[in-house]
Copies of this chain bind each other. A is one copy, B any other.
Amino acid sequence: MRFETSTIKDIAKALGLSTSTVSRALRDRYEISEETKKLVLAYAEKVNYRANPIARSLKERRSYSIGIIVSEIANNFFSQVINGIESIAYDKDYHVIISQSHESYKQEKLNVEHLASRSIDGLLIALSSETQDIDYLRNLYAKGLPIVFFDRVPKDFETHKVIANNFKGSFDATEHLILSGKRSIAHLTNSENLSITKERLEGYKAALSKYHIEFKPELVKYCQHGGMHSTELEQAVKELLPLNPDGIFISSDRLTTGCIMALKKTNPEVAYKIAIAGFTNSNLVELFSPSLTSVKQPAFEMGQVATELLISMIEAKRPVTEFETRVLDTELVNITRR
């Protein structure tokens, strides 16, 4: 089965023009007379001409596509980011190719390399929770692939980055728990590698400190796989409960939902006694039981900003040397318990 489409050549032949003239007319170049342009445009319209993007890409050495790496699309935070990315990309006539790392370093690397070999023009990536070694990204970047990081960003990598104000989001959530009377607040978080883990931990600590509550390292639990394996969550919960926390602050979307499930499974009684606050962009929080206070990231906007930055890099005439890290504010949403 094959698509039959008309090409510039066909139009040229039909109109008795050269392919160059047709090409230029279609791209509305100044050299072509109005008359000819009209003629060509009209005919192109008639035969429903669509430029072959592959030929164009080959010639121009760019694909007008950008790659996205997220840990998983079945996660409201990431799917909202993707919506933001698409809203900008489509406007600027790029299309996006989404890949999921499922929080696996191996998968992430594989996907990135697959995308790169598919000649994407740029890459938007949130690192997997396993990722420590980003040399493979450095290599691609050095070869000229524009990269913009969002959400989970590496420390020493000079490029544009877009993140939420993790410190403040964390601080606010923790403070909220404190203000509602909690004094023994646990913190369940991602792999220590991640930027978000560090920043959110700092916010948590700062809030404790502000209210003169001692920081206890044993109340902090890390999940190496970002909650992809339910066992790691159950393990963490089992370790935390004996310490009798009266509140828990959870540091990412997947972990938040996973943790509540683990709590319910491990000890339903207690689950309803512990106050929960956590990062999540789920639009279903209102349905959750036990309820929780959520920190929402401006996911859509983050996607938009990251994409704008990436496209500006792609389309820059000269190598970009000035980079920025955009920090967007989170929002604390408090569901009143029924």
- Residues of chain A touching chain B, judged by Cβ–Cβ distance below 8 Å, are 1-5, 50-55, 57-58, 61, 63, 72-74, 76, 79-80, 82-83, 86, 90, 95-98, 100, 114, 117-119, 143-146, 257, 260-261, 264, 268, 282-284, 286-289, 313-314, 316, 319-320, 338
Name which of A5, A61, A74, A83 has the most chain B CB atoms within 10 A of its CB.
A74
Question: Is the pair A79, B86 in contact by a Cβ cutoff of 8 Å?
Answer: no
Question: Is the pair B74, A80 in contact by a Cβ cutoff of 8 Å?
Answer: yes
Instruction: Kindly list the 8 A-B residue pairs having the minimum CB-CB distance in the complex, ordered from nearest.
Output: A289-B289, A74-B79, A50-B117, A287-B288, A1-B144, A3-B144, A54-B57, A54-B58
In-complex Cβ contact of A319 among B1, B54, B117 (8 A):
B1
Question: Is the pair B97, A95 in contact by a Cβ cutoff of 8 Å?
Answer: yes
Kindly state the separation between the CA atoms of A122 and B69 in the bound complex, as whole angstroms. Answer: 23
Question: Is the pair B95, A114 in contact by a Cβ cutoff of 8 Å?
Answer: yes
Kindly state the separation between the CA atoms of A55 and B61 in the bound complex, as whole angstroms. Answer: 10
Question: Is the pair B2, A144 in contact by a Cβ cutoff of 8 Å?
Answer: yes
Kindly state the separation between the CA atoms of A50 and B261 in the bound complex, as whole angstroms. Answer: 45
Name 22 A/B residue pairs within 8 A (Cβ), A-sorted.
Answer: A1-B146, A1-B316, A1-B320, A2-B61, A3-B61, A3-B143, A4-B144, A51-B117, A52-B58, A53-B118, A54-B58, A73-B73, A74-B80, A74-B83, A96-B97, A96-B98, A98-B98, A261-B284, A261-B287, A264-B287, A282-B284, A284-B284
- The answer to whether A1 and B314 touch (CB under 8 A), given A86-B100, A119-B54, is yes
* Known interface pairs A74-B83, A95-B97, A284-B288; 10 further A-B residue pairs with C-beta atoms within 8 A, sorted by A's residue number: A1-B313, A3-B143, A3-B145, A52-B119, A53-B117, A74-B80, A98-B98, A261-B284, A261-B287, A264-B338
Kindly state the separation between the CA atoms of A257 and B264 in the bound complex, as whole angstroms. Answer: 20
In-complex Cβ contact of A260 among B54, B118, B287 (8 A):
B287
Which residues of B sit under 8 angstroms from A97, Cβ to Cβ? 95-97
Which residues of B sit under 8 angstroms from A96, Cβ to Cβ? 97-98
Q: How far does the Cβ of A321 sit from chain B's closest Cβ, in whole Å?
A: 12
Q: How far does the Cβ of A89 sit from chain B's closest Cβ, in whole Å?
A: 11
Closest to A117 in B: B50
Question: Is the pair B143, A287 in contact by a Cβ cutoff of 8 Å?
Answer: no
Q: How far does the Cβ of A26 sit from chain B's closest Cβ, in whole Å?
A: 14
Which residues of B sit under 8 angstroms from A73, Cβ to Cβ? 73-74, 79, 82
Which residues of B sit under 8 angstroms from A145, Cβ to Cβ? 3
Closest to A118 in B: B53
Which residues of B sit under 8 angstroms from A4, Cβ to Cβ? 143-144
Question: Is the pair A55, B58 in contact by a Cβ cutoff of 8 Å?
Answer: yes
Which residues of B sit under 8 angstroms from A74, Cβ to Cβ? 73, 76, 79-80, 83, 283
Q: How far does the Cβ of A297 sit from chain B's closest Cβ, in whole Å?
A: 14
Which residues of B sit under 8 angstroms from A283, Cβ to Cβ? 74
Q: How far does the Cβ of A275 sit from chain B's closest Cβ, in whole Å?
A: 16
Kindly state the separation between the CA atoms of A80 and B96 in the bound complex, as whole angstroms. Answer: 19
Which residues of B sit under 8 angstroms from A61, Cβ to Cβ? 2-3
Which residues of B sit under 8 angstroms from A80, Cβ to Cβ? 74
Q: How far does the Cβ of A76 sit from chain B's closest Cβ, in whole Å?
A: 6
